[in-house]
Structure 1
């Protein structure tokens, strides 16, 4: 049985390439300052996530050979079936949440089973294997490990949500691999759909037929912009896999595909909070990247002006050797005009009085001119050229001019 859903690997490869290019570009644009912010972000996440892990260890019940050995045996058997060598820590936690989750803290993986699930499936405990297998799938496929690196691509329209849905389909396949029977698979997903008691009377055939309505515009659009496939599709996919059959889902609405191209991923189900978080992330990145990029542009502009002035300096040296006097204008050196103007970088270079070459870099906020100057200085060893700035920000100057 192939445990990886068909779309996960190609979507993952695209996300890795796009995220890698994003992080590399941002690292270059910020001259490494990004690393400091990433470290601060990691520390913030570490402290925030530690609250949940501490609550889990302090209030949850750790599943072991001595504590709920039946659940521990399922965990160990699930790890064996999916090829996971390191058995994660597992806890039973009371919460108003009907599902299970996998998380990671400081390199250690955790599987959390919520009591509502375990209680609801008391009469069919084999269905719990599906939940355990699903979460082991996240660990085995390293979904948690890659999540931070893939964050830039995960915000992209269509791609981010598609990758998350593919991961869910993959983990459902892990759940199927851990189950002993088709009825356990149906029970596990039915419990999510119908609740802790009504799942027992769910008409699975009728429920699966509901997937036929998912090709409409609204159903298509809201699935394309969400992190989870419709549960009817997940059950159909899981049941078909257990039977060794292939399944084709209804085609999504064409206009829903088009419209979803303009909706960035904001997390499971969207929502105002997710949108605010996305906007905040973009704002933080912009606050770091935009000033750094502006500094980069200014440094490049001053470097270009310095190179232009150095070329004129060479021409002046040759002129002095031939004429033993300072040239009046650049035209004396063979230039067509008395000023070299660089329109693209917004500066102009000309000869200044007193044996200097000056690049006018524009005005500051107070209307005062800013200059990069190369000036000839007489010393005991002869004439030397020195470079400095007038009314400029020092960090923008080339290293030789500071």
Structure 2
């Protein structure tokens, strides 16, 4: 039996290629600033992840040969069966009735956490606990935790990020199935997730599996397409098929649900590491967006300042044609500044050569001027050249760039 879900490798390849392109664009687009943000958020991630691991070590019960030896033996046996050479640290955690388990990673060390209510509920079917153990080993074996930060840019993309997350769950369910001695134990493990610690014994797997046929409607299709987990009824159908030696094809989804899901980014990432990776991505995007927005507003205000400059040069030009010389002041030329947007702090004219200088009000360029230099062409017409030695050409209108 292939332990890797059919679509996982393909989706991983697409995610990796897109993520590398996005990271490269961010690093180049921010002139390396993205690396500083990544370092900052790596430190933040370390603190957050250390809080989780510290909580486990300070609250949960570590599973060892001396403490819960039966569970320790199961974990070792599952690791051996699934080909995981290094047995991860394992803990039993009381979560107030929640049924689940999870794997996490911190500074190169892997951890598995079993919820005590799952273990208690399956006391008379302990082989079903192997399903939970094997599922989390699947995450470790497939390096899902290790790759999450690198894949973060593509993970938020509509359809793709959620599809990869669901493919990982199917892969880990197959690992959980393979970890069980009894082919029906994986179904028992999922039944406990569905019906709880007591009612799972009365759950009809065939009837529950039949509910998967309802998942092809528009709304169920849409909410699965934007979610990280396949519907539990579909997971049950798959492991039931594996127990019978069959590969179950999931019911088709509604076509319009794909169209709507295409407009919904994936933000339902799981785990502290994924959340912090998303925060890092948002921070890096902000490093691109904030300077870009600042440059956009600077360009807009420079364009307004140049418009004010043109009005002043027009007044100087009229005075020159009427008097054969330049004005001593702009007021002498009959010019009164009209600047409703307050883009200009000051504007002057040089009586010696007629040069008009516009001083923008932008705080980043206070004291720096845009110069309008006049000259007379062969037809005795005044020609103006706009330029600045102090203000970057990138924020000036094209006409003022040399």
Q: TM-score, normalised by structure 1?
A: 0.72
> Where does residue 195 of structure 1 map in the other structure?
196
SS in 2 for 1:162: helix
Residue 139 of structure 1 pairs with residue 171 of structure 2: no
Distance 1:87 1:362, change over 3 A: farther
Q: What is the number of equivalent residue pairs in this alignment?
A: 318
- Please list the CA deviations of residues 38-70 of structure 1 after superposition, one character each: whole Å capped at 9, or x if unmatched: 111111111112111111011111111111111
Specify the alignment match of 2:8 in structure 1.
8
Please give the per-residue CA displacement for 1:251-301, whole angstroms capped at 9, x wherever unaligned: 1001001111111111169xxxxxx9999767633431135557999xxxx
CA change 1:232–1:363 in 2 (3 A) is: same
Tell me which residue corresponds to 2:287.
Answer: 288
The alignment status of 1:233 with 2:234, answered yes or no, reads: yes
How much has 1:367 moved relative to structure 2?
9.8
Give 1:1-400 correspondences, 5 Å limit.
1-96=1-96, 97-267=98-268, 284-292=283-291, 365=362, 369-370=369-370, 390-392=389-391
Distance 1:142 1:257 in 2: 28
1:153 deviation in Å?
0.5
Distance 1:82 1:282 in 2: 34
**Contact 1:29/1:292 (8 A) holds in 2:** no
Tell me the distance in 1 between the aligned counterparts of 2:70 and 2:10: 38
Q: Which has the higher contact order (CA 8 A, sep 6+)?
A: 2
Gaps of 5+ in 1: 270-275, 298-359, 372-388, 397-402
SS where residue 390 of structure 1 aligns? Answer: coil
Summarize deviations over 1:108-138 as a string: whole Å, max 9, x none. 0000001000000001000000000000000
- Shift in alpha-carbon separation, 1:120–1:76, aligned structure 2, 3 A: same
User: By how many angstroms is 1:35 displaced?
Assistant: 1.1
Query: Is this contact kept in 2: 1:370–1:392, CA < 8 A?
Result: yes
Q: CA RMSD in A?
A: 3.3
Looking at structure 1, the residues matched to 87 and 279 of structure 2 have their Cα atoms a distance apart, in angstroms, of 37
Whether contact under 8 Å (2:152, 2:281) holds in the other structure is no
TM-score, normalized by length of structure 2? 0.72
Q: Which moved more, 1:91-100 or 1:112-121?
A: 91-100
